[in-house]
Amino acid sequence: MNEHTFDINNKKIYVAGSEGMVGSAVCKELEKENCQVIKTPRSETDLMDKQSLDRWMSSNNPDAVIICAAKVGGILANQSYPVDFLYNNLIMQCNLINSSFKHNVKKLVFLGSSCIYPKFSPQPITEETLMSGNLERSNEWYAIAKIAGIKLCQAYRKQYNCDFISAMPTNLYGPNDNFDLENSHVIPALIRKCHEAKKTNNDTLEVWGSGNVRREFMHVDDCAKAIIFLLKSFSESEHINIGTGSDITIKNLVEMIKKIFDYRGNIFFDSSKPEGTPQKLLDVSKINKLGWRAKINLEEGLRQVISGLKEENFY
């Protein structure tokens, strides 16, 4: 065991936001390990409430904390609820990071996101690019909060030698995603629209933006595996990217989803609607060199999610 490793055997691991897409995938992976997974169900604990979180931490004493709780959403949600994206994320993460420090948590993982890198980052985006240019305006509220979270982890490491790390996952999709069209990210929004267009025999499916922007997408199960890999083996002040290393145009993504649904209608790309930064592909050479690589191919992952939704009678 070297100084960079954290042995999770017989440890209590607290997953904050365990009911969310990432949190539930992390819990599912951790449950395969020899550790105790502990949670704060949303109905019982409001992570905005510092006193109740501190009380919970005193009685549960986790050895490690993985922060998957956050206010998360797509472009429209970011534009409509700037206070929630800035204030709620700042308060929630400050509460969790400070409470972890006070309760002597040995390892903490904080999650940033690829969308907090500068809008015109050179591609693929290396870890060093953070804060080197202007942010994408549509989600600057979320980005500023997340950057503050990464800095707070670094500050605790510098001032108190805490083993608090940050990871930057790319765009994720998977089970437990948010399919509400007002708040959702691109993949759940497209799945929902395509399903509805097929069901109502609508011969045109409308998609926001030109379809030419490029995005990277990773299945949340791959992300969960990466987070646990980093929990066990990564201990640096600087954040680390988590991604697949390849991207796709929105046009091609729509074609892939159309094919899975066997939807034969036309696609109307509405260029008057915002579509965000032109390309977003993470440089994942750092995590690859440490020995971790994403495994789930995009089309296979999408098929799995879409058939899971059908089985659950989600639609």
Can you give the three-state secondary structure of 13-80, one letter per residue? EEEECCCCHHHHHHHHHHCCCCCEEEECCCCCCCCCCHHHHHHHHHHHCCCEEEECCCCCCCHHHHHH
Binds ligand NAP by CB under 6 A, chosen from 7, 46, 182, 196? 46
| Six-digit token string for 166 | 């940050």
- Establish if 296 lies at the interface with ligand NAP (CB under 6 A): no
Binds ligand NAP by CB under 6 A, chosen from 30, 68, 125, 153? 68
Q: Which of 244, 245, 220 is nearest to 302 (CA)?
A: 220
Nearest residue to ligand NAP, scored by beta-carbon proximity: 20
For ligand NAP, the closer of residues 47 and 194 by Cβ is 47
Strands 164-169 and 240-242 come out as parallel
**Shortest distance, CB of residue 240 to ligand NAP, whole angstroms?**
13
- Establish if 42 lies at the interface with ligand NAP (CB under 6 A): yes
For ligand NAP, the closer of residues 188 and 209 by Cβ is 188
- Establish if 130 lies at the interface with ligand NAP (CB under 6 A): no
- Establish if 188 lies at the interface with ligand NAP (CB under 6 A): no
Q: How many CA atoms lie within 13 A of 79 on its CB side?
A: 12
In the residue annotation, 142 being an active-site residue is answered as: yes
Strands 214-215 and 248-249 come out as antiparallel
Binds ligand NAP by CB under 6 A, chosen from 169, 211, 245, 301? 169
Do residues 14 and 65 make contact, with C-beta atoms less than 8 angstroms apart?
yes
Stretch that binds ligand NAP, among 29-37, 45-53, 55-63, 196-204 (CB under 6 A): 45-53
Binds ligand NAP by CB under 6 A, chosen from 48, 80, 132, 315? 48
CA distances from 54 to 3, 60, 155, 310 (A): 28, 10, 20, 41
Degrees, nearest 5: CA angle 220-221-227: 85
| Six-digit token string for 198 | 């097929």
Q: Which one of 142, 156, 173, 263 is the catalytic residue?
A: 142
Degrees, nearest 5: CA angle 55-165-5: 100
Binds ligand NAP by CB under 6 A, chosen from 22, 75, 145, 282? 22
**Shortest distance, CB of residue 277 to ligand NAP, whole angstroms?**
14
Site string for ligand NAP, 87-116 (x = CB under 6 A): -----x------------------x-x---
Residues that bind ligand NAP (CB under 6 A): 17, 19-23, 42, 46-48, 68-72, 92, 111, 113, 169, 171-172, 178, 185
Active site residues: 142
